[in-house]
Chains A and B, each alone.
Chain A
Amino acid sequence: MIYEFLYNIIGSHIIASIISAVFPLMFLVPFALFAVYLERKVSGHMQDRLGPMRVGWHGWLQTVADIIKLVQKEDITASATDKKLFNFAPVLVFAGSYAAFAAIPFTSIYIGSNIDLGILYIVAVSSFVVAGILMAGWASNNKYSLLGAMRSAAQIISYEIPTVLVILSIIVISGTLNLMTLSEQQSSSIYNWMIFGGAVVGWKKFVLIPFLMIGFLVIYISSLAEVNRTPFDIPEAESELVSGYHTEYSGMKFAMFFLAEYANMFAVSAVVVALFLGGYQSPFGYIGNSIGLVWLIPFEQFFWFAAKGIFFVFVQMWLRWTLPRLRVDQLMVVCWKYLIPISFVNLVIIALIMVL
């Protein structure tokens, strides 16, 4: 584990923790830059356009230029806002989404905090985002922002239920809440991935597969809603609410919201990957094993984890340009009439199979 390694070198728990805590940020900031670029390229090409082409080769420096622009911008705070909440909200939103990375295993040797309640902690701490968004909407003192924030809160809280129900059914199978242990259970072969029944043996494995597929779809749909992505982007609906809770923000605070949004996108994808698709496990075995370089394995694992995560981020973008936005009532219908009953029945069936 990297934390022990750092502790042995430095000899101080505090410094080792701080260094260890910065690792996800070192991944997240380049990821956010890359994801914004990817988003713009994907949306461009899906609409038969080219996307950014001017800054650097095929516009690859576009997001860097955008960030430089945002840093230079004047930090506007409208006079009618609630200053304290207004300034604190972006920090809280980002803190909420960053805190989720503490319990996500990036490789077999790196996890921010190897706590036994990992997945429960992620579900709980990512709710800070709701508080932050509601805070931003309320403090902006702008009716559109407030509407967006209220929609966002309603949506995230309702869609947490199917997410948690699906997570519960995974826990029923794996018997652990620790994502590290969960990832280790799915090692050695693609058929040990949770979507193919996990490490369960015998007939149960084959019976479980269809229900796990359903669970995977449900958690993916509800995770889309939790990060406010299309088709569930009513909180920031550009065409009706300007852009919801971050209408009044500019400069670095706006960048903070953006970073939090992309961090969140990766966080939910990472949770889905860790729960269903073997986490950091390679589907083909490791090059490091076959050529005898053991130190290469964690890097390969990190590569696979990032690749799977970015693939699901890509699917989120893909869906964004495929589906139109839902109405508020449709949104609630999808959640309460479809996802929750399905995930609940799914949980009961999976539990029954595991008991038998």
Chain B
Amino acid sequence: MRDYFKNIFNALFTIFIGMKITFKHLFVPAVTIQYPEEKPNLPERTRNRLYVNMDDCIGCDQCARACPVNCITIETVKSVPPEDLGKTSNGKKKMLHVTQFDIDFAKCCYCQLCVFPCPTECIYMTDIYEFAEIRRDNLIYSFVTLTKEEIAEKKDNFTKFEAEKAAKAAKAKTAQAKNSEINK
């Protein structure tokens, strides 16, 4: 009999405690946010979409080699002597035309391993995380600043330069051969 009343008392008492807690929570400010209008403050070192600042890129290919999933594709062409590509913001000399710099974000695993080896700190993480696409191809981002014609021109220049150089070298060789014959 004592248990019976104790049960009743406990039940009512605990219900009132529970009701007190839920009533308090009625006035607690919501922890959720209205997402598209308000956005959460991201932590300082969040890893999101990559960005490449092509002005600083020297085409060294270190990021592509660091990538564990091979999502970065880089193709470069050497600059020909009279051209001066200038310097990067931290004083490195640019020697190469970057003719292709694609990052496939469908493959990218956001590990940030490409960011550390970069000698000019031109590849880094941004705070953009909303870049869903309907087609997977659209996730391949191209960062190259040169136009197609320019790329074709640079390649052409380089092959010409190479050809000239080869011709020169051949000349020099034959000249050397002649010289040596004469010396004999």
Instruction: Given the known inter-chain contacts A45-B25, A322-B22, A338-B8, please indicate yes or no for A50 contacting B15, CB distance below 8 A.
Output: no
Inter-chain contacts of B69 with A (CB < 8 A)? none
B interface size (C-beta, 8 A): 18
Residues of B28-51 contacting chain A, CB below 8 A = 28-32, 34
CA distance A216 to B18 in the complex (A): 20
A48 touches B25 (CB 8 A): yes
Inter-chain contacts of B23 with A (CB < 8 A)? 318
Tell me if B167 counts as interface (CB < 8 A to partner A). Answer: no
Residues of A297-352 contacting chain B, CB below 8 A = 318-319, 321-323, 338, 342
Inter-chain contacts of A322 with B (CB < 8 A)? 15, 18-19, 21-22
Mask, B1-34, CB within 8 Å of A = 1, is 0000001100010010011011101111111101
CA distance A321 to B8 in the complex (A): 21
Residues of B67-114 contacting chain A, CB below 8 A = none
Instruction: For B27, give the chain A residue with the smallest CB separation.
Output: A45
- Extra 15 A-B pairs, beta carbons < 8 Å, given A45-B30, A48-B30, A322-B15: A46-B22, A47-B25, A48-B25, A48-B29, A48-B31, A49-B31, A50-B32, A217-B12, A318-B19, A319-B15, A319-B19, A321-B22, A322-B18, A322-B21, A342-B8
B22 touches A53 (CB 8 A): no
Tell me if A42 counts as interface (CB < 8 A to partner B). Answer: yes
| Interface SS of chain B | helix
Inter-chain contacts of B18 with A (CB < 8 A)? 322-323
A49 touches B32 (CB 8 A): yes
From A46, A53, A323, B26 is in contact (CB under 8 Å) with A46
25 A-B Cβ contacts within 8 A?
A42-B26, A44-B30, A45-B26, A45-B28, A45-B30, A46-B22, A46-B25, A46-B26, A47-B25, A48-B28, A48-B29, A48-B30, A48-B31, A48-B32, A50-B30, A53-B34, A217-B12, A318-B22, A319-B15, A321-B22, A322-B22, A323-B15, A323-B18, A338-B7, A342-B8
A49 touches B22 (CB 8 A): no
CA distance A162 to B18 in the complex (A): 25
CA distance A233 to B62 in the complex (A): 63
CA distance A50 to B29 in the complex (A): 9
Inter-chain contacts of A217 with B (CB < 8 A)? 12
A132 → B minimal CB distance (Å): 30
A220 → B minimal CB distance (Å): 12
A52 → B minimal CB distance (Å): 11
Mask, A200-223, CB within 8 Å of B = 1, is 000000000000000001000000
CA distance A50 to B15 in the complex (A): 25
CA distance A47 to B22 in the complex (A): 8
Instruction: For A45, give the chain B residue with the smallest CB separation.
Output: B26
Inter-chain contacts of B25 with A (CB < 8 A)? 45-48
Inter-chain contacts of B27 with A (CB < 8 A)? 45
Inter-chain contacts of A47 with B (CB < 8 A)? 25
A277 → B minimal CB distance (Å): 19
